[in-house]
Amino acid sequence: MKKQILLYGVLLGLLIVLLKFFEYKFIIRDYAFEIYAGLIALIFAILGIWLGLKLTRKKEVIVVKEILKEVVKEIVVDKSQPFVLNEKKLTELGLTQREHEILSLIAKGHSNKEIADKLFISLNTIKTHSSRLFEKLGVNRRTQAVQKGKELRIIP
Amino acid sequence: MKKQILLYGVLLGLLIVLLKFFEYKFIIRDYAFEIYAGLIALIFAILGIWLGLKLTRKKEVIVVKEILKEVVKEIVVDKSQPFVLNEKKLTELGLTQREHEILSLIAKGHSNKEIADKLFISLNTIKTHSSRLFEKLGVNRRTQAVQKGKELRIIP
DNA sequence: AAAAGAGTCATACTTTAGGGTGATTTTGTC
DNA sequence: GACAAAATCACCCTAAAGTATGACTCTTTT
């Protein structure tokens, strides 16, 4: 926050210097003040908008205490939608493409049968995929898988 | 958007007039320009921030076409979290307290057995509740119920 | 007091999901 | 071409989930 204010101040100073400089270079003396004011207003309005946009990117801080390692980790999760796939987590978990695909279909409320029909593969295959999927996510029910998937931001 | 720009322009004009007026009233002549610039910058930065904050309040427009009544309704849903219970929908659907409670437990990934244990009631009762719940939501699987529940904002 | 709504429970039955194991086929990589 | 990873499928069995129906108890409303 202090950085922002400092940045604003410095920018304003620079701008004034710049404008004063141009004042002696060109012949825009008559409307100089209005032009300056307009320019400053424009620039700071844009900066303000940018800052405003940045401010709304709410960050949720999840504090995970790993007792075993006696280390306190802070994971900053960007909660400002829309959904951006967390590819790191995806590879970290070792989820394959197919497994990921099936997870999202599960999340959409489809039954295994429906998923099988949709992907033109056997029901058994869906079961194998989902089993492995659950194992990798450390869950044992599809509803939990969906929950975890959303939490880890690997599905929308 | 055009309103915003107009507002900015008018404000800038007013400000300049105001400042010019004060220039002849007080003796702040020496640093007048810097003060003006600073004031303008400040005001427009604040305006920008406000605008930026307003811009990020994404609104999702759901268009519901009621064919029977030949009326097109537009429901504007504010999507800028956090969860606010849509009580209207809740009563509209006729969900009872218990059913709603069970829906949220389902959404948390609990099995029927777990819910039964948690609420100290029989597994069969959970089944009856969930059945009626599904019927009211127009679904036939718990994953779909969770989806719909979130969509209708009756669960977080 | 009767009716209605909500909550509870049971029994019986069907469907879907999940776990375990093993096997075959594709596909991409060295 | 060999190898590994991914994807496919089958079979078996158990566990959950879901459907249908009927019934009992409270509580609130009429």
- Residue whose structure tokens are 């509740």: B129
Determine contact, residues B112/B130, Cβ cutoff 8 Å.
yes
Question: CA-nearest residue of chain B to A44?
Answer: B45
Reported as a single tens digit per residue, the pLDDT across B46-73 is 777 777 666 655 433 333 322 222 223 3
Question: What would the mean pLDDT of A107-117 be, rounded to a whole number?
Answer: 94
Question: What would the mean pLDDT of A33-39 be, rounded to a whole number?
Answer: 68
pLDDT of res. A99? 92
The rounded distance, in Å, linking the Cα atoms of B155 and B149 is 6
Reported as a single tens digit per residue, the pLDDT across A87-105 is 777 788 889 999 999 999 9
* Tokens linked to A71: 């280390």
- Residue whose structure tokens are 């977080």: B156
β-strands B59-66, B71-78 pairing: antiparallel
User: How many CB pairs below 8 A link A and B?
Assistant: 122
Please report, rounded to whole angstroms, the spatial distance between the CA atom of protein residue B133 and the C1' atom of nucleotide C4: 19
Question: What would the mean pLDDT of B31-39 be, rounded to a whole number?
Answer: 66
Residues of A in contact with B142 (CB under 8 A): 143
Closest C-alpha among A151, A135, A122, A123 to residue A96? A135
Given a cut of 90, is residue B139 above it in pLDDT?
yes
pLDDT of res. B77? 38
Reported as a single tens digit per residue, the pLDDT across B81-105 is 565 666 777 788 889 999 999 999 9
Domain with CATH 1.10.10.10 in chain B: 87-151
Which residues of B in 118-137 have their CB below 7 Å from strand C's atoms? 119, 121-125, 127-129
Question: Which of A21-30, A37-46, A139-148 shows the lowest per-residue confidence on average (mean pLDDT)?
Answer: A21-30
Question: CA-nearest residue of chain B to A144?
Answer: B109
Neighbour count for residue A37 (Cβ, 10 Å) = 22
Q: Please give the angle made by the CA atoms of B144, B145 and B147, to the nearest 5 degrees.
A: 65
Neighbour count for residue A145 (Cβ, 10 Å) = 24
pLDDT of res. A65? 28
- CATH value of A87-151 in 1.10.486.10, 3.40.50.720, 3.20.20.30, 1.10.10.10: 1.10.10.10
The rounded distance, in Å, linking the Cα atoms of A103 and A134 is 9
Pairwise pLDDT comparison (B6 vs B109), residue with the higher score: B109
pTM of the shown model: 0.59
Question: Which of A61-65, A137-141, B37-41 shows the lowest per-residue confidence on average (mean pLDDT)?
Answer: A61-65
Question: Which of A27-31, A61-65, B8-12, B98-102 shows the lowest per-residue confidence on average (mean pLDDT)?
Answer: A61-65
The rounded distance, in Å, linking the Cα atoms of A58 and B127 is 39
Percent of chain B at pLDDT exceeding 70: 60
Q: Could you tell me if A10 lies within 8 Å of chain B, comparing CB atoms?
A: no
Question: What would the mean pLDDT of A59-63 be, rounded to a whole number?
Answer: 34
